[in-house]
């Protein structure tokens, strides 16, 4: 009899656990660092922000030689940051080779292959065994490898964007009011890197990363992922902590809407000047603050 009662209790516990698992299934955003179930969200809106790392307020992330973009690019090249995405939906992965090809700011130049039967003159450039060489003096039949008549040159190689040229970040984040804890949370979802292409005068979008993956990289590199405090270096922080404390400035570019339009797109479609869309971005920031105040009152 006792065994039957014990079995019944176990079955009820199992059913309860299964019911709880079903209740939470699909309620937690898998890309979130702040696990707030949907039924605890009194208010939620998704934003996209443009972050110019050259701005004074953002320079802590962009100290020369220790740029946040340098850490991210190094993590991609080493394989530590393996998941790169085409869009902010972060569901379609980009191959690593495609991302690295996107880093090329200037394509390489092809030189003729070295020919031992050809006369070469000072200044001529050739390719031999995968390396580029430049003739110092006139020569014929002298192998460029290990010869004093030739010097290896970096001319003709593809040029990559330097970390300080990758200074635009686009941040996607959810603004959530947790009704249980009665406070507003900023839940960063993904970040895109963009480089300024001096040849075209425009930004070149490189790829999107889940912020969860970036945060892990920041935590794994405490000596490199340093937000620089220009006023007190004793208060330098990890990039992850700096994002958590909102020690950056990012202008709102888009608030989720049925037409999937940016703020500028909406104003341009109505024939309004660009300067009005600039004020509208600031107005969106003020509306968020007002909404937070009203939710507290509620």
Produce one character per residue of 24-49: b if its CB has 16 or more CB atoms within 10 Å, e if not: eeeeebebbbeebeeeebeebbbbbb
- Which domains does the chain possess? 38-103+161-256 (no CATH), 110-159 (2.10.10.20)
| pLDDT tens, residue order, the chain (298 aa) | 554 554 544 444 444 443 443 445 568 899 999 889 999 998 999 999 999 999 999 999 999 989 999 999 999 999 999 999 999 888 999 999 999 988 887 655 666 777 777 877 776 777 777 677 778 777 776 777 767 677 766 555 667 888 999 999 999 999 999 988 888 999 999 999 999 988 788 899 999 999 999 999 999 999 999 999 999 999 999 999 999 999 999 999 999 999 999 888 988 888 888 888 888 888 888 888 888 788 776 6
Nearest to 77 by CA among 139, 142, 163: 163
Distance CA 36, CA 39 (A): 8
């Amino acid at each position: 009899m006792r065994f039957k009662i014990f079995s019944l209790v176990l079955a009820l516990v199992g059913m309860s656990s299964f019911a709880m698992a079903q209740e939470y299934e699909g309620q937690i955003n898998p890309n979130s660092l702040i696990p707030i179930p949907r039924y605890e969200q009194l208010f939620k809106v998704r934003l996209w922000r443009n972050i110019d790392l050259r701005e004074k307020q953002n320079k802590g992330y962009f100290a020369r030689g220790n740029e946040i973009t340098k850490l991210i690019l190094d993590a991609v090249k080493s394989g530590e940051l393996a998941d790169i995405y085409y869009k902010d939906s972060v569901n379609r992965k980009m191959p690593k080779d495609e991302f690295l090809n996107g880093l090329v700011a200037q394509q390489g130049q092809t030189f003729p292959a070295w020919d031992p039967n050809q006369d070469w003159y000072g200044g001529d450039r050739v390719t031999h065994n995968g390396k580029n060489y430049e003739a110092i003096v006139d020569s014929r039949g002298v192998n460029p490898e290990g010869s004093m008549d030739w010097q290896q040159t970096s001319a003709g190689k593809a040029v990559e964007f330097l970390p300080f040229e990758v200074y635009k970040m686009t941040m996607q984040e959810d603004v959530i009011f947790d009704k249980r804890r009665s406070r507003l949370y900023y839940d960063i979802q993904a970040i895109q890197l963009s480089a300024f292409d001096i040849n075209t005068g425009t930004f070149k979008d490189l790829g999107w990363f889940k912020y969860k993956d970036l945060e892990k990289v920041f935590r794994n590199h405490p000596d490199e992922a340093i937000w620089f405090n220009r006023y007190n270096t004793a208060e330098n922080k990890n990039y992850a902590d700096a994002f958590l404390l909102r020690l950056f400035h990012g202008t709102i570019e888009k608030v989720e809407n049925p037409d999937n339009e940016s703020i500028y797109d909406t104003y341009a479609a109505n024939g309004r000047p660009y300067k009005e869309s600039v004020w509208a971005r600031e107005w969106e920031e003020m509306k968020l603050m007002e909404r937070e105040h009203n939710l507290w009152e509620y």
